[in-house]
Amino acid sequence: MPDITQVLIANRGEIACRILRTLNRMDIPGVVVYHFADADSPAVKMAATAVQIHGPTPVAAYLDVENMIAACKETGADAVHPGFGFLAENPKFAKRLAREGITFIGPHPGAMELLGNKVSARTFCMDNGFPLITSVTEAEAKENFIESARKIGLPILIKAAAGGGGKGMQIVRDHRSLDQAVLLAKNEAQRSFGDDEVYAERLLEEPRHIEVQIMGDLHGNVVHLGERECSIQRRFQKIIEESPAPMLTRELREKICTTAVEIARRANYHNAGTVEFILAPDNEFYFLEMNTRLQVEHPVTEMVTGLDLVELQIRIARGETLPLVQDQIKTTGHAIELRLYAEDPANDFLPSTGALLAYSLPTGKGIRIENGFARGMQVTSAFDPMLAKLIVHEKNRNQAIALALQALNDTLVLGVTTNIDFLARILAHQAFRAGRIHTGFIPTHTKELAPLPLNQEQRDLLLAAAALGSREFSDPVLTEPYTSLGDWRN
């Protein structure tokens, strides 16, 4: 089995910092690659070795396999951790690393091809009797994909086969818009993943999004680390995740988690992975997809289990056996993760750009921050607008919500518009507190989640503060003969 002596992180931002912390604790040197746009980032400053990479755009630089291979050869890195996004679910990248004798800290390329592609994963689950929503793929329908999609019944969800994160997804509620929706989904899928394959499935109304963290080693052992609730989403992207999922019976939780483990076991899957399910209002659940990588929201699982998922990934890649069997994995308390975005919730979540004039994130017992920015850095349109992740852990869900609200109140970001207040309004909403959540929570409660209009006293205070901050207001206006006296003093 390979001996990992130096790890190159084929990523950026907060996930690069998070991986570096584990590598430092394990006394394994870490190498960070960076585009010029990230030259002043905390990850670059934190790493012992940093290698600049180039590309026609910043994103293209991180998607370039040859950049990563060259950086490994330059630094002597014998392993690569892909983080999430970019090359994390690219089996061609994993295969290329294997040809170069470099360990990929992730699943086998064959498992990525099988389960990372939504169409092949759907076929696999169908063949093995796992629950699926009614759907049709382009390959199955061949020349009649549009007509076959119509037969599913409304509403229909068009989805990209090769990726996730809400990219390449279109909702169809009228058959007349189906052709255009398929075209839009294919175009976005091609831009985002380099693959325009899509498929159609029946859209369940107001379902919950439940996912299960699994971990498998190279010796056939597979365990789950509990489930996460990921139903609070905007534009098909998660913004609040928590563990354990509220309002699940013990029997339903066990059934969902056991199904996830069985899917991974039958696929001979190893390393970290997340099996995602749609849970209908009648408590029937269906396989949605599998993310063959570390998830953005993995910290909530770490908080309730006390396990370091990145360390487990590295040990599995080394060929070690999982240190725990299923019965030894326990969860305590409740964890909530909030994704802090530079975006305007009042303007359809439009990304915001600019310099971080002030940037202060909370600290304290039960609070964990995953962050890739610092005061003075530029937030650009080159990357996803997520600034940081704020994770809290408490004894129960109500206490976790209270701590999360306190942490948001102690967060200060100036220079860009953020979703901080929007997240606080979600946490304070009565339906959220009661666990009455689903993937349509935000559009359902649009009016209640909107900011309250300012009263006259608040307006007056803001105007006064703005005036006092203006030099035109605060600097004295001098007239002759005083303007000619210069710096004269008596």
pLDDT tens profile 116-144: 888 899 899 999 999 998 888 887 776 78
pLDDT for the residue 490: 44
pLDDT for the residue 394: 98
Nearest C-alpha neighbor of 43 from the set 68, 24, 22, 15: 15
Structural domains of the chain in order of their starting residue, each with its CATH number: 7-105 (3.40.50.20), 134-202 (3.30.1490.20), 208-449 (3.30.470.20)
Instruction: Tell me the CB-side half-sphere exposure of residue 161, using CA atoms within 13 A.
Output: 22
pLDDT for the residue 480: 65
Judge whether 208 counts as a catalytic residue: no
Cα(129)–Cα(263) distance, rounded to whole angstroms? 10
pLDDT for the residue 352: 98
The predicted-structure confidence for 433-470, as pLDDT tens digits, reads as follows 999 999 999 999 999 999 988 788 878 887 887 777 66
- Residue 129 neighbours by CB under 8 Å, 6+ apart: none
* DSSP string covering 330-398: ---SEEEEEEEESEEGGGTTEE--EE-SEEE---STTEEEEE---TT-EE-TTS--EEEEEEEEESSHH
Q: Of the listed 228, 293, 339, 425, which one is catalytic?
A: 293
User: Over the chain, what is the mean pLDDT?
Assistant: 93
- Ranges under pLDDT 70 in the chain: 1, 142, 163-165, 469-490
pLDDT for the residue 118: 83
pLDDT for the residue 165: 66
